[in-house]
Structure 1
Amino acid sequence: MIFIKIAESLACSRIHISSEETNTTVVEKFRVGELQVDQSALSNALTQIYQRDSFSISFAYADSDVIDSLSTNNDTDIRVFCERLKLQAEEDEAITGIITITITKGFSGRTFSIYSLNLIEKYWRSGGIAQAATKLCALAGRAYIIESSEVLCEFRSGLFVFRPSGQNITNITNPEIPNKQKLLAARDKCCLFYESKSYPAIPQDFDLSPGFSHPGILDLFNTLKLVFSIIFLADISSLDGNNFTATVKGYKHITSTIQFDGSKDGETANSYYEIYQWAYTDGSVTDKLGIAKNLLSIHIENSSFRTLSDGVMPAIISNYSIYLKENVKQYIDIKNKLSDQIQKQSEKAADMVKSIGTYLRTSIFSVYSFVITAFIIRSMSKTSTEGMFSNELYAIFLMFILLSIGTLIYAYKEAEAELKRFEAIYDSFKSRFDDLISKSDKERILQNDKEYNRDVRYVKESRKRAVLLWIACLVVLFVFVSGVKFLNNTATPSEQAGSTEVSAYQHSG
């Protein structure tokens, strides 16, 4: 390791004191004696520090407050540093001290360095599950490419790309899931996670693919994948300190706690992760979560999320299939009801047209009947000295015309009211199934109101034709009867006198 090489280049004997690595620094301390400085070996060791990082090497002499330090890999500075140590070693061969090697990490190119996977795992785990999630999310905000000499091939999660050192790959893109915000929004609608604002993470963020080469970090990510999969499935969850607590309300209420305790959560995490992916992919998330919670509450053993019995995913899929079949039956029933209503609406439109047609026939027939009856009676009368229509008959005719016009107005108003009621009933019927089927599906079944609009046009056009025919018939009758009356009134006096004489002669005889 680089720190041992640095210590070896400065002293023959060394004792390791402490090691610490965080997201921002690495600190190694050695107690050394018998200084034997190798400038070339030190220069070679320093080249293994990533260029984006800065370093500092300090040698604190025992029984003295003198400290020699080096913070650049410039050849002159390295030579001066080594000469000072050699000078001290010449003055006192038994000189001892503490070497502190500090590396401050840089984040250029969204890239981050790890010098020891063991140390960084220890740091990530310290403080519990909540702290681990916080540290990883904070790191992901600054870098998504992680380089380490201990990584042999590329590994990915939704937060990071782990890659070996020395790879000059510039086309690595951010591995974040594109629909991450959509998944978080869907979770917030269906599940209550108290710290949702503090931990904007999804299970994919901790799904290392393929399996990571370092078992400790792999176990850490698996536990976090398990925790966040449960967060997306449970009714209530909370991430506080070292403990994660969640409650699933299904056929049974299950409340359980998870913490870092050395458990191997890979298999269990994969089971919950599979359920999470199924629930949040396609279909109604609410409906799927309802089924998943019911089945999970049955398959969780000993009220522990970590003991999940086999067969939970097949059971969920089977129950969902039954649920879909029931929904299909309900859907078919709704579709049939909608289709029946369309037919009833068409029949209602036809009845409306028939109604106004009935008014037309009745009214026109009554006027025609009066005119024909008057014509027959006047034609059969042998003593008629007047025209076809007397003033009294003409007045009665006008009364029938007015009654027919009144009937026309009433029939029109009634047809208008029926049409409005027809439209209101249809709108009410459309909104009745809004909570059962989607708007697009409803519009598809109703053909975007094609049949309804056709019925409305049919009623309006039929009503218009009936009114025009009605008015035309009344006008024709009025013109005809008034013409006959006018001709009678303008007959010559001789015709009227002759008619009178003939009538008197017939009476005397």
Structure 2
Amino acid sequence: MGLLNSLINSFSKTPTSLSERVTTLEIKTVCLGKELPDLEHLILIKDRFPRREKIKISIENETLEEIIQIADIPNFQQYQNFKNKFFDDELEVMITIDKKVEDNKFSIYCFDNFMSDFLKKETSDIMKAFNQLLKLNNYLIFEIFDSSLVPSLLLSTETMVFKKADEENTILESDRLKKIETCKQNSNFYSNSNLELIPEDFHIKTDSNSNLRNVFEKIETLLSIAYLSNSAFLEKSSFKIQISGHRMSNYECDINVQKLKNKEFYEIYKWTYTDGNPADKLIIARNAISLHCKNLDLINIDETVFASIKSNFALYQKENVMQYIDLKNKLAEYIVKLTTTSNDMIYGLFDKFKNNLIAFLTFLLSVYLIKIMSNQSVGSVFTKDVTYLSFLILVASFLFMIIGIAEVYFQKNKIVNGYNELKKNYEDILDKKDIENTFKSDDLLKKSI
């Protein structure tokens, strides 16, 4: 037991009981008062433990007459008085270590004992335990302070490593938290414990111990199915899922009884959530899986289902490429049309202004020439009638201006609506980012307006 053994041996060679659960280690042993170690020695051993652990040592006599506790700040005099008082008495020693995750590390002191307790749990409780440890972490390193273990690296997954504490730290690069968000956005997985786990947490890369393999493979499959389905619900041992594709498929099983292990689900999950748009891939995957479930049990899918999914996606991509080219062509045509229409609107407005100005100036010039030819004085050009007529023409020009502006706004709205309809037609083919890139954030439309 390495480090732990040195602490136990300070009191007794053999503990009366030892229990290591997920976050708590408890040891009970007995010794005579005169066998109690010096407090300085005890503190030196405690300081060798990782700082993230909270170690508490409680010593009491048989009649519970007096109890002394050694925690953060021990009292030297009190400890020495207790030791002298019960020098020849048998004492019971209780050592408690509260373990927690810090800097992506977690301790295991007696691996066999830890595994024995861990593997007795139901599958849902095991998932809950890992959820508690991995929460808000991209990865987790289990440091094993157990010298009896031969392999330096016991087990590793995409996001977890079980290794000897004295070995070099294994560097893990994982975007686990980002992947959890992606899975949440594309599926509906519910559980009583609000599990935030992904299949990568349990996908074994290296394994020197088979004890964890079976349970890890089961959880990997369960999570893969959950994130491939439309909805999934885990309640204790009951796992219910619904997949809606070409047909509606419902599946329910007892995860503690049934053999829930199939590597094909992880392969499909990994392909679906790696590269590209998961939403498009999920539609095709669910269609293929639902068709398979028509004749066979869901858990028994084989490699032919994954092959079918990839083939259908290849056809889907080819169809989308043709539609994408079609969009580019239509957009090019629309750009030419938009430029021409915008120019026509601008020139048309200037033409109306120019013609209106010429008409008014022609009227004034005609009146002026008539006065000159009739030998009348220039000062009498703007008679009462001419002035009224001039104002009438100005009012008509103003109305003409309003009609011209209204016509421009109508044509502008027609252009904007046509542009938006073109974008809307391709929302089912391209995602939002692709549309923004293709239409260059509407710069052309803004410039034209």
Q: Same fold (TM over 0.5)?
A: yes
Partner of 2:174: 177
Say which SS state the counterpart of residue 214 (structure 2) adopts.
helix
Unmatched segments (≥5 aa) in structure 2: 30-44, 64-68, 71-83
Q: With the length of structure 2 as denominator, give the TM-score of the two structures.
A: 0.67
Matching of residues 44-123 of structure 1 within 5 Å: 51=49, 104-105=96-97, 107=99, 110-117=105-112, 119-123=113-117
Taking the aligned partners of 2:302 and 2:437, their CA distance within structure 1 comes to 44
Q: Distance in 2 between matches of 1:425 and 1:107?
A: 68
* Counterpart in the other structure of 2:128: 134
**1:259 Cα deviation after fit:** 1.5
Which TM-score applies when normalising by structure 1?
0.60
The Cα shift of 1:320 comes to: 1.6
- The yes-or-no answer on 1:239 pairing with 2:234 is yes
Amino acid at match of 1:186: T
Match status 1:260 vs 2:256? yes
Q: RMSD in angstroms over aligned alpha carbons?
A: 5.3
Q: Which residue matches 2:278?
A: 285
Read off the aligned partner of 2:202 and give its amino acid letter: F
Counterpart for residue 251 of structure 1:
246
- 2:74 counterpart residue number: none
Task: Give the Cα separation in 2 of the matches to 1:414 and 1:196.
Answer: 66
- 1:220 maps to 215
Point out the structure with max Rg over C-alpha. 1
Q: What are the superposed Cα offsets for residues 187-232 of structure 1, whole Å, 9 maximum, x if unpaired?
A: 333322222762111112112322x111120111111111111121
1:13-412 correspondence to structure 2 within 5 Å: 21-23=20-22, 24-25=24-25, 51=49, 104-105=96-97, 107=99, 110-117=105-112, 119-140=113-134, 144-147=141-144, 148-149=146-147, 150=149, 152-154=151-153, 155-157=155-157, 160-167=160-167, 169=168, 171-172=169-170, 175=172, 177-180=174-177, 182-195=178-191, 198-210=194-206, 212-252=207-247, 253-261=249-257, 263=259, 265=261, 268-269=262-263, 271-300=264-293, 304-352=297-345, 353-354=347-348, 356-357=350-351, 360-361=354-355, 364=358, 368=362, 387-389=372-374, 405-406=394-395, 408-412=397-401
Check the 8 A contact 1:124/1:135 in 2, yes or no.
no
Letter in 2 for 1:224: I
Structure-2 separation of matches of 1:389 and 1:151: 125
Using the alignment, how far apart are the partners of 1:428 and 1:314 within structure 2?
43
Task: Kindly state the Cα deviation for residue 319 of structure 1 after the two structures are TM-superposed.
Answer: 1.4
Give, in angstroms, the shift of residue 258 of structure 1. 4.9
1:425 maps to 2:414: yes
Q: More helix per residue: 1 or 2? A: 1
| Residue 408 of structure 1: how far off its partner (Å) | 3.9
Query: Which whole-Å CA distance do the structure 1 matches of 2:301 and 2:218 have between them?
Result: 14
- Percent identity (aligned): 20
Q: Which deviations, in whole Å up to 9, do the C-alpha atoms of 1:300-344 show, x marking residues without a partner?
A: 586544311223223222212222222233333334333333333
Deviation at 1:290, TM superposition (A): 1.4
Distance 1:359 1:113 in 2: 87
Q: Distance in 2 between matches of 1:362 and 1:190?
A: 61
Tell me how far apart the structure 1 counterparts of residues 441 and 368 of structure 2 sit (CA, whole Å): 55
Shift of 1:448: 4.8
Matched position secondary structure for 1:214: coil
Residue 182 of structure 2 aligns with an amino acid whose one-letter code is: A
Contact 1:356 1:415 in 2 (8 A): no
C-alpha spacing 1:400/1:337, structure 2 compared with 1 (3 Å): farther
Distance 1:455 1:106, change over 3 A: closer
Matching residue of 2:34: none
Residue identity opposite 2:337 in structure 1? K
Q: Cα–Cα, structure 1 residues 114 and 262, in superposed 2: closer, same or farther, change >3 Å?
A: farther
Check the 8 A contact 1:125/1:131 in 2, yes or no: no
Matches within 5 A, 1:2-21: 21=20
Please state how far the C-alpha of 1:162 moved relative to its aligned partner.
0.8
CA distance in structure 1 between the aligned counterparts of 2:25 and 2:396, rounded to whole angstroms: 97
State the partner residue of 1:32.
none
1:136 deviation in Å? 2.4
The letter for the 1-side match of 2:311 is S
Does structure 2 conserve the Cα–Cα contact (< 8 Å) formed by 1:55 and 1:101? no
Q: Distance in 2 between matches of 1:405 and 1:55?
A: 98
State how far apart, in whole Å, the 2-side matches of 1:410 and 1:224 are: 76
Q: Distance in 2 between matches of 1:279 and 1:179?
A: 16
- Displacement of 1:127 in angstroms is 3.9
Q: Offset at 1:455?
A: 4.2
Unaligned runs of 5+ in 1: 30-46, 59-63, 66-70, 73-79, 89-99, 379-385, 457-509
AA paired with 1:145?
F
Alpha-carbon offset, residue 452 of structure 1: 4.0
Q: Separation in 2 of the partners of 1:322 and 1:157?
A: 34
Q: CA deviation at 1:176?
A: 7.8
